[in-house]
Amino acid sequence: MSQLFFSAEHVLQGGYFHPVLRKLQEPNTSIEPHNIMYPVFLLEDENGLQHVNSMPNVNRYGINKLIPVLQDLVLKGLKSILLFGIVETLPKDPLGTNADSTDNPVIKALPKLRSTFPDLVIAADVCLCPYTSHGHCGVLNASGSIDHAASVKRIAEVALAYASAGANIVAPSDMMDNRIKAIKEALVAHKLQNQVAVLSYSCKFASSMYGPFRDTMKSSPMEGDRKCYQLPPGSSGLAARAAARDVAEGADFLMVKPGLPYLDIVKQTKQQFPNHPLYIYQVSGEYAMISRCGDSEEVKTTLMETLTCMRRAGADCIITYFAPLILSIIGNKS
Ligand code: PBG
Ligand code: ZN
C-alpha cells in the first residue's frame, strides 16, 4: 500500500460538498429584507430628480419622485430607509438653522412617507453638516474648534424635530460626545421615547471613503477636516469606548462605519454588546469600488459575498445603496 499522505480526521470536505450542507456551515449569515436599510437623498424641490455622478444608479429625489420609487421597492420587500436632506436654495448658516426649519425637506416629507408607507421603518440621519455654512457636523466657537455644548444642544433639537415629524429612528452621525444622552432626554421630555429609536453612529471613523457622499450632499467642510470628532482609523480602543459610552447613554442600536475594512471593529462591538442590534454602513466609497469591480454578474456575486461576510462578523443590518439590487437578487432566489 502506498504511503498514507492524509489522515481521515482532517478531512473537512465531507461537511460541505452539498449546497444544503454548506448553508448549515454559514449560520446567521442569511440576507433577508430586514437585514437591509436603504439610504435615500431627499431634495428640496419636490419634483426634482438628479443623478449622482460619483455613484452609478444612485439618484437624488424630490418627495413626489421618491414615493413611486419606494412603492416599487416596498413591493419587492424593502423594510427600512435612511433619509438624508439636501438643501440647494435654502441658506446655510453657522448653526445649521435649516436642519430643523419647517422648510427642511426631511421634516416636510416625513408625514407623507409615514402615511404612504405605514409599515416601512423610516430613519432620519441627524447632522448639521448639510446645513452649516462652514460644513462641519457641529457648531463652531470663535477659534474655529467645536463648541461641544452648543453642538449637542443643536443636534438634540434636530433629532427631536425629526422624531416629532414622524421618524421611527433618529440616527445622529455627527460624532459629538454625549449627544445620545441629550437626544434620549429630549425624547423622554416629549413622551416620544417609546415610539422613536436612537441608532447611534457609535463607531464612525474619519475615512477617505466618504468622498462620493460628500460630493452628493455638498457637505464637505470648507476648512479643516473631521479628525477631531470622527475616530482615527487605526484605533480599536476608542471604538470600544465610544460604543460603551453610547450604550450607557441609552443608544438602542449601534453602528460601525465604514463597513468592509472595519470588520474587526464589527466583531469587537458585537462581542462587547451582543444584546444591541448592530448596523454597518457600507459607505459611498465602498459602493463605488464594488460597482466597478467587474461585469454585472461579478458585481452581484462580490456584493453578496461582502454582505455575507458582514453578517458573519456580527452585523444585524447593513445600510447600503445597493438595496434595490439586493432585493432583486434575493427575490429571484426564493
Ligand atoms: C455626515 C455623514 C457622512 C456620511 C453619512 N453621514 C459623511 C461624513 O461624515 O463626512 C457618509 C456616508 C457615505 O459615505 O456613504 N454626517
Ligand atoms: Zn455631518
pLDDT digits (tens, 9 = 90+) for 289-330: 999 999 999 999 999 999 999 999 999 999 999 999 999 999
CB 240, CB 272: distance < 8 Å: yes
pLDDT at 6: 75
> What cell was used for 47?
419634483
The stretch 2-16 carries a mean pLDDT of 82
Contact 236, 310 (CB under 8 A): no
276 CA to middle of ligand 1, Å? Answer: 22
Question: How far apart, in whole angstroms, are the C-alpha atoms of residue 122 and residue 195?
Answer: 12
Distance (Å) from CA 179 to ligand 2 centroid: 13
Q: Is 310 in the pocket of ligand 1 (CB under 6 A)?
A: no
> Is residue 243 within 6 Å of ligand 1 at its C-beta?
no
Q: Which residue has the higher pLDDT, 153 or 214?
A: 153
C-alpha cell at 194: 417609546
Q: How much is the pLDDT for 333?
A: 57
Q: What percent of the chain has pLDDT over 90?
A: 91
Mean pLDDT taken over the chain: 95
In Å, what is the CA distance from 240 to each residue of 181, 208, 281?
Answer: 18, 21, 17
1 pLDDT higher than 60: no
> Given this model, what pLDDT does residue 223 score?
81
Instruction: Please determine, for residue 169, whether its predicted confidence score (pLDDT) is greater than 90.
Output: yes
Tens of pLDDT along 193-240? 999 999 999 999 999 999 999 887 777 788 888 999 999 999 999 999
Q: Would the CB of 215 count as within 6 Å of ligand 1?
A: no
Please report the pLDDT score of residue 9 as a whole number: 85
| C-alpha grid cell, residue 94 | 453657522
Alpha-carbon span 196 to 180, nearest angstrom? 13
Give residue 242's pLDDT.
Answer: 98
Kindly report the three-state secondary structure assignment for every residue of 168-204. CEEEECCCCCCHHHHHHHHHHHCCCCCCCEEECCCEE
For every residue of 273-321, DSSP letters joined together read -TTS-EEEEE-HHHHHHHHTSSSHHHHHHHHHHHHHHHHHHT-SEEEET
Provide the pLDDT for residue 165.
98
Give pLDDT tens digits for 69-121. Answer: 999 999 999 999 999 999 999 999 999 999 999 999 999 999 999 999 999 99
Closest of 201, 189, 137 to residue 163, by C-alpha? 189
Q: How far apart are CA 333 and CA 244, in angstroms?
A: 39
Query: Residue with the nearest Cα to atom 6 of ligand 1?
Result: 173
269-284 pLDDT, tens digit each: 999 999 999 999 999 9
Strand partners, 172: 126
- pLDDT score for 320: 98
Q: What confidence score (pLDDT) does residue 291 get? A: 95
**Cell numbers at 183, concatenated:** 437626544
Which residue has the CA at smallest separation from atom 5 of ligand 1? 173
Q: Whole-angstrom Cα distance, residue 197 to residue 142?
A: 34
Q: Where is average pLDDT lowest: 10-14, 35-39, 196-200?
A: 10-14
pLDDT at 3: 62
Phi/psi at 128 (5° precision): -95, -20
Relative to the CA of 283, which ligand 1 atom is closest?
15
Sign of CA dihedral 130, 131, 134, 139: negative
Ligand 1 probe mutation, 173, 200, 209, 225, most atoms within 8 A of CB = 173
Question: How much helix, strand and coil, in percent to the nearest 5, is found in the chain?
Answer: 45, 15, 40
Neighbours of ion ligand 2 (CB under 5 A): 127, 129, 137
Per-residue model confidence (pLDDT) at position 111: 98
Q: State the angle between helix axes of 105-116 and 148-165 in degrees (0 to 180), rounded to the nearest 10.
A: 30
For residues 147-152, average pLDDT = 97
Question: Which residues belong to the active site?
Answer: 204, 257
Q: What is the structure's pLDDT at 4?
A: 64
Distance CA 266, CA 280 (A): 8
Of 126, 129, 283, 292, the C-alpha closest to 213 is: 283
On whether the CB atoms of residues 168 and 122 are closer than 8 A, the answer is yes
ipTM: 0.96
The dihedral over CA atoms of 166, 168, 173, 176, expressed in degrees to the nearest 10, equals 80
Task: Output the pLDDT for position 328.
Answer: 98
> From atom 14 of ligand 1, which residue's Cα is the shortest distance away?
210
Q: How confident is the model at residue 334 (pLDDT cuts 50, 70, 90)?
A: very low
Ligand 1 pocket test, candidate residues 83, 204, 214, most atoms within 8 A of CB: 214
